[in-house]
């Protein structure tokens, strides 16, 4: 609560924070399924059995890296 910008907008800021936690979980499953199906088919055509999973793990690693970069930009409590 100490890093939120305004004491008067705690409820709104907490709602945005909650949405930021839930929305990626809701979107990740269908997106991963589409990526898996698409790249598994492409991989089987080219002789690579687990291409879909490799793509999903590469996307996850990219998201973890970007999350680290964005979190490091938070200054902290004033």
Question: Out of 9-13, 28-32, 38-42, 63-67, which region has the weakest mean confidence (pLDDT)?
Answer: 9-13
pTM for this structure?
0.68
Give the pLDDT confidence of 11-27 residue by residue, as tens digits: 888 888 889 899 989 99
CB 76 within 8 A of CB 3: yes
Give the pLDDT confidence of 38-56 residue by residue, as tens digits: 999 999 898 988 999 999 9
Q: How confident is the model at residue 78 (pLDDT cuts 50, 70, 90)?
A: low
């Amino acid at each position: 609560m100490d890093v939120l910008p305004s004491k008067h907008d705690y409820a709104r800021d907490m709602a945005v924070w909650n949405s930021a936690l839930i929305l990626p979980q809701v979107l990740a499953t269908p997106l991963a399924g589409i990526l898996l199906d698409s790249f598994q088919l492409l991989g089987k055509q080219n002789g690579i059995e687990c291409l879909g999973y490799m793509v999903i793990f590469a996307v996850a690693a990219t998201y973890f890296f970007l999350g680290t970069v964005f979190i490091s930009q938070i200054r902290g409590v004033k």
